[in-house]
Amino acid sequence: MTCMCDVRTFGRDVTSLLIEYQRERGNGNGARTKAFHNLICAGNAALQLNTCFYPGQTPPQASGDVNVFSLVAIVGRCVAAMGQASTFYHSDPRLATAASLNTWLALLGMFTALILSVSVRPCRFRCLFLLPVLFLATYIVCHGEGPQAMVANIIASDLVLRSVDFMVLTDVQRILRRKAQPKDEDISTAAVLQRLRWGFSLICSPRGVGWTHEPMLPPTTPHRTRFLLKQMFRVVCCIVMSDMVAILVPYHAVISSWSGAALGAGLIGLSAYSSLGMAYGFLTIVVVGIGLWRPEECPWMYGHLRGAYTYRRFWGLVWHQVFRRPFTSPGRYLSRKVLKLPRGSYASSLIQLYTAFFLSASLHLVMIYGGVKTWELDVFVVFFAQAGIVTLETVIISLGQRLGIPDHQAWRCAGYIWVAGCGVVLTQPLVRFAFREGLILPTMGCANTALLRYWCS
């Protein structure tokens, strides 16, 4: 109990420092200070709860004199401890299998083939680059098992879809352009090195940031220091969320009815959100910190949750847009080039919608296969059924507009309930599968295991 009091004292000391810092600056960001305070309280609760799952481990004790420099040192040592905490992360045998070196070399080969394919001058033989990509993707899917193999499978599936788009469906050098590219500049006539840089930039921007096909993305600050601080805060939030998921996993098995269903769906969503956000946050901190990219080239991965009052807006604005082009490009090609449907027609929209979710379901099916080596069709149904929900709500909204029902805040509140309810119901097959196969485990926490490793060393 004394240790936990020291932890809370440590949290209060940190919070006091933040409050004093905000008062001195006088910038009025009280809400942000409150967010820091809530984050620290959540971390203290995480340490307290985790002693149940890691018997014999003691939470940290405050060192007495807390200042900004000691906080930086603590954060640095905790980050270093994360790299040494593999014995905690992989204490469950289901997490012990890692993707082989050959798998990662195959991914590198796919990435290289894709860059070369978009860098060569336009020709009818560009599609031949697709052959080595498909061969390497088949090798990756058929070899390896476990969480890292799942990551390799989803990257390979994404590269295959992008290869089909850039090598077969799109004349990339004549259609795709950077926003800063002069209108009279033809990249197909440029020198080899310039085309390679152009192709590398295209492939390294999966969301199309800075390109004419860029979707609507969250705004970002051009100020480098402010951007790095904000990304660090987001990474910390994602780490805390990943820990909360690990802490709450055991409770899912003992909670029945709709409470357990909602908890399971929430854990699945938070696990995906935190893991992707963590990886992206660390990556952007590095590339912006060393000056490789500018802050405006790295908008945050997710939109604001307040925009998620319809299913279409959730998938199109709030959730990450990493796979947006590889999912939507085949549907556009099918509706416009093959079926010759008018742009903006209802039939064209339906074909693009169902094609996108079909590809999304296929990608997640292949990803899951990498983890358990079985084809779980329930996973495919979960993601493909999202298209039906989007269609249903589109019909309801169109009917309401025709009846003259005004857009009111109450309808948006109902929309949030609709999105959450449909998400809980639709994801239940995925939830049951994930917990049955151990894809989400109490040993998968990030910050808690690293902190315990640090304080017990």
pLDDT digits (tens, 9 = 90+) for 355-374: 999 999 999 999 888 777 78
Window from 280-289, 301-310, 426-435 with minimum mean pLDDT: 426-435
Mean pLDDT for the stretch of residues 125-154? 86
pLDDT digits (tens, 9 = 90+) for 234-283: 999 998 888 888 777 777 666 667 777 888 888 888 888 988 999 899 99
Alpha helices in 253-345 (DSSP H): 257-289, 311-313, 324-332
Model pLDDT, residue 264:
85
pLDDT of residue 346 exceeding 80, the answer is yes
* pLDDT tier at 81, thresholds 50, 70, 90: very low
Give the closest residue to 205 by CA, choosing from 139, 266, 296: 296
The ranges assigned to domains in the chain are 93-179+186-204, 224-445
pLDDT digits (tens, 9 = 90+) for 92-103: 444 444 457 888
Mean pLDDT for the stretch of residues 145-170? 87
Give the C-alpha separation, 163 to 206, whole Å: 12
Q: Which residues contact 136 (CB under 8 A, 6 or more apart)?
A: 106, 107, 109, 110, 113, 156
What's the residue count for the chain?
A: 457
Residue with tokens 């809980």: 424
Give the C-alpha separation, 126 to 283, whole Å: 31
DSSP, collapsed to helix, strand or coil, labels residue 149 as helix
pLDDT of residue 66 exceeding 60, the answer is no
Distance of CA 306 to the CA centre of its chain: 18
Better-predicted residue by pLDDT, 71 or 133: 133
Q: Which residues contact 363 (CB under 8 A, 6 or more apart)?
A: 154, 157, 158, 161, 323
Look up residue 261 and give its amino acid: A
What does pTM read for this prediction?
Answer: 0.74
Window from 8-12, 139-143, 171-175 with minimum mean pLDDT: 8-12
63-90 in b/e form (b: 16+ CB < 10 A) is: eeebeeeeeeebeeebeebbeebeebbb
Give the C-alpha separation, 121 to 98, whole Å: 39
